[in-house]
């Protein structure tokens, strides 16, 4: 009977030690990951709903602004917002997880700021291209299927992205234009 009591006590002690270990950092990390996944799904669903609503509303009345163009712009904007949301959520979650491992985040955040500035200076053209593409989409300067004149090129827009616009000229050449370098554009498809 004493041996059974010692075995039960030993089992209880081991179970308690495992629970004490698990209820510390591993449980906190698990909760952080679960909350990040839930936040990501809720955010993605909210962005999708908002962009679908935006795509179906006729914001600019008239024959020159088809709904298909508005849907494409809403889809592109939704993709950008979803990617940004995911990046923010997982950077915060990673920081919290590293904090659970006892890593001092102060120096890490300071060095990330310095690295971010250096990266920002090195990636100026990419940032400029993306911002120009975003404003181009918001302002509806041109869209897929439009006949435009840009730089020395005249042709039909085949694809509009946040960073690059592709235009096929009359000779059949496909041109890849960085949105940040497009200073002026003429759109023959939009009626006045």
Across-strand partners of 154? 149
8 A C-beta contact, residue 131 and residue 80: no
The DSSP annotation for 22-38 comes to HTTHHHHHHHHHHHHHH
Average pLDDT over residues 72-94: 84
79 against 155, higher pLDDT: 155
Q: Helix, strand or coil for residue 53? A: helix
The reported pLDDT for the residue numbered 73 is 73
Least confident of 20-34, 144-158, 171-185: 20-34
Whether the pLDDT of residue 65 is over 60: the answer is: no
Sign of the CA dihedral running 161, 165, 168, 173 = negative
Residues 93, 162: one domain? no
Backbone angles phi, psi at 150, to 5 degrees: -140, 135
Residue 130 lies in a domain: no
**Predicted confidence band of residue 133 (pLDDT cuts 50, 70, 90):** confident
Residues 101, 164: one domain? no
Average pLDDT over residues 122-139: 83
Whether the pLDDT of residue 8 is over 70: the answer is: no
Q: Which long-range contacts (CB under 8 A, 24 or more apart) does 85-90 make?
A: 85/40, 85/43, 85/44, 85/47, 86/40, 86/43, 86/44, 89/36, 89/39, 89/40, 89/43, 90/36, 90/40
- Predicted confidence (pLDDT) per residue in 42-54, tens digit: 999 999 998 888 7
Residues 146, 68: one domain? no
Last residue in a domain, options 87, 122, 157: 122
Residues 144, 115: one domain? no
**Predicted confidence band of residue 37 (pLDDT cuts 50, 70, 90):** very high
This prediction has a pTM of 0.55
- CATH number for the domain spanning 143: value is 2.30.30.60
CB-side neighbour CA atoms (13 Å) of 27:
7
Sign of the CA dihedral running 177, 180, 186, 187 = positive
- CATH number for the domain spanning 11: value is 1.10.287.1260
Q: Total domain count for the chain?
A: 2
Residues 62, 146: one domain? no
Across-strand partners of 164? 178
Residues 13, 90: one domain? yes
The residue segments making up the domain with residue 104 are: 2-122
Closest CA to 81 of 160, 33, 138, 126: 138
8 A C-beta contact, residue 137 and residue 73: yes
Whether the pLDDT of residue 57 is over 90: the answer is: no
Residues 116, 145: one domain? no
1 against 28, higher pLDDT: 28
**Predicted confidence band of residue 69 (pLDDT cuts 50, 70, 90):** low
Residue 134 lies in a domain: no
């Amino acid at each position: 009977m004493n041996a059974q009591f010692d075995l039960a006590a030993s089992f209880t002690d081991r179970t308690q030690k495992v629970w004490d270990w698990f209820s510390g950092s591993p449980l906190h990390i698990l909760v952080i990951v679960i909350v990040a996944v839930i936040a990501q799904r809720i955010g993605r669903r909210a962005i999708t709903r908002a962009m679908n609503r935006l795509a179906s509303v006729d914001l600019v009345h008239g024959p020159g602004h088809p709904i298909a163009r508005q849907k494409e712009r809403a889809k592109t904007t939704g993709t950008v917002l979803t990617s940004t949301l995911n990046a923010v959520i997982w950077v915060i979650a990673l920081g919290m997880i590293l904090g659970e491992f006892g890593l001092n985040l102060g120096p890490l955040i300071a060095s990330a700021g310095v690295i971010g500035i250096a990266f920002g200076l090195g990636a100026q053209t990419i940032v400029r291209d993306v911002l120009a593409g975003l404003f181009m989409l918001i302002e509806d300067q041109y869209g897929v299927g439009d006949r435009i004149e840009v730089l020395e090129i005249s042709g039909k827009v085949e694809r509009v992205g946040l960073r690059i616009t592709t235009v096929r000229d009359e000779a059949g050449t496909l041109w890849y234009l960085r949105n940040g370098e497009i200073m002026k554009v003429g759109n023959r498809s939009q009626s006045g």
